[in-house]
Amino acid sequence: MGCVESKKIIENVTNSDIKTVYHIEDAFFEKEVKCELRVTEAANLAEKIKLDRQINKNNKYKTKYDARILAKYDVLALIGKGTFSMVARVENKQTKQPYAIKIIESEEGREAFEVELAILRRVKCPYIVQLIEVFESVDKIYMVMELATGGDLFDKVQSRGPFSEKEAVNVLKMVLEGVKYLHNLGITHRNLKPDNLLYYHPGSDSKLMITDFGLAHSRRSADDILMQTICGTPEYVAPEMVARQPYTNAVDLWAVGVITYILLRGDFPFFDEDRIRLYKKILRGKYSLSDEVWVEVSENGRDFVRQALQVDPTLRLTAVEALRHQWILATHQSPKRKQSSGGGGESWSRRSSAHSSRSLRSSHSSRSGPSSSTRRPPSARVLPHHLESLEGALSMHGTPGIPPTPLLHHPCSTRHPPHSSWER
């Protein structure tokens, strides 16, 4: 049954008190497991069947890794499994350094992860999850990556509510440094959101790292700055993308503006369970900075939100300008922020339970009451037919604040296959 050494079973022993030893080498954990079973004749067969099932289970895991992986790493635990991939926690046998390993198993999965792999090979920044090494076989790709154990920013906001200005600025400095680095390389992330910002470790001094480059775009030349592919997560997409106009890396700064609003308010600037109404709100760029939570935020903090959430992308902050903004450069105190009633806002709770982008997982917010215990289903993506439904209104009334730009046949519009544009 796949054991390195065969099992030795004493047959036809009546009323025995003999130890039957099964000697197993578990290829999944690369450890030798010895099971000593004190059996009688009646129990012998049942125990044998039970153990054989465990052996088969371990052999099932064994097929996920080739010899090169097992020679260098101890596989410790399965972290998660998606449509095209699985992720496990591993440890380097020599250094004992833990890592995450992503295994892409199908041909369809390989195509979907080609963009991410190509970008991760290029980047080396403390605020971006690092690719350590890659192993490729005929039917699989193994990506050994930096392991983040502190959870994501989504969890942090959901569990504790709005951040103080000092805490928010500390987060944004790391995010903006990562975005500036990407933009300098000609890379636009296109799916920035709290779910894709991971804490390296659980401590309060942990760095924050950008992850998930499956929807990212890498320009091919200095003149290749326009994109047309519709992609991202609805609550974070920029107005120019909703308007189906060619767009630039300014869409990432719009997402930073949404993230800033979430950090300071504990809620979304634009939210509606109906996607069409949500996109209309984004196009108008109307949001509130006047409730009781915003009273406690400095004028510089509110100004940063306004500058990042400019509907006109030509007026929006760049990553460099954002890092030079007075609010980001200022020294902030750490007063106790007044906690808003309602636990991070009704729309945050509903968005968390109905539309968020992480795999099923339970989380709890001490500020949200009964609705705060949520399970987060798979990602919601921007769907083209929703935007097509807006075309009539846009043609009749125009798009407020966005300079009209014809939809050009730009090379970048064909760079990604349709399945990876909005529903990977």
Tell me the pairing of strands 217-218 and 187-188: antiparallel
Helices (H), 334-417: 346-354, 384-388, 391-397
* C-alpha atoms less than 13 angstroms from C-alpha of 68 in its C-beta half-sphere: 11
CA 49, CA 42: separation in Å to the nearest integer?
13
Closest CA to 147 of 70, 77, 85: 77
> What secondary structure, in 3-state letters, does 86-101 show?
EEEEEEECCCCCEEEE
For the beta carbon of residue 83, count every other beta carbon within 10 angstroms.
Answer: 11
| Tokens coding 6 | 């065969």
What letter would DSSP give residue 383? -
Q: Is 166 annotated as a binding residue?
A: no
CA 54, CA 38: separation in Å to the nearest integer?
18
Residue 250: which residues within 8 A CB-CB, separation 6 or more?
238, 240, 313, 314, 316, 318
For the beta carbon of residue 210, count every other beta carbon within 10 angstroms.
Answer: 25
The annotation places the binding site at: 102
The annotation places the binding site for ATP at: 102
